[in-house]
Amino acid sequence: MPTCRLCGSTYPREFFIHGNGPNAQVCVRCGVDNNLVSKEEVPVLFERSTSSARFSAVARRYSIFLYLPFLWVLWGSTLSDVEPWGLFFLILLILLTLASPILFIYRGGQYSGDMARLTPSYDRPKGH
């Protein structure tokens, strides 16, 4: 994948502006920020609401893998000594740990659909 020469970020080819000279190897965000192109010329530029919605979709997809270690630490530090609730929480935590990869794979289609809905349509220019 190419790298933007202004910000150093790596993006797929369709996130770069088309041209030679100052426009060569410049991502759409840097192109708009440096007045190399206008917002109307770059259809793949994400607005703040679109980028926020995409980040929210990614966060919902991977949040279970952030919650599980926290819940295991919570159980190990405080709830393991509590007599009836420690065992109930342990059983629930084991079930959640075993079910999380299955749910992750099962909801992959919904994630792909959400990302496709939040990605603007783009026709690659000739020569790209």
How does pLDDT run across 2-57, given as a tens digit for each residue?
A: 888 888 888 888 788 887 888 888 888 888 888 888 887 877 777 778 888 989 99
CA 100 to chain CA centroid, Å, is 18
- pLDDT band at 107, cuts 50/70/90? very high
Query: Same structural domain for residues 6 and 66?
Result: no
Query: Same structural domain for residues 119 and 60?
Result: yes
Query: Same structural domain for residues 84 and 54?
Result: yes
pLDDT tops 90 at residue 100: yes
Tell me the longest C-alpha to C-alpha distance in the chain.
71
Cα separation of 78 and 118, whole Å?
Answer: 41
Query: Same structural domain for residues 25 and 82?
Result: no
Query: Same structural domain for residues 55 and 31?
Result: no
* Cβ-contact 37, 25 below 8 angstroms: no
Query: Same structural domain for residues 24 and 87?
Result: no
If one counts the domains in the chain, the total is: 2
Query: Same structural domain for residues 55 and 86?
Result: yes
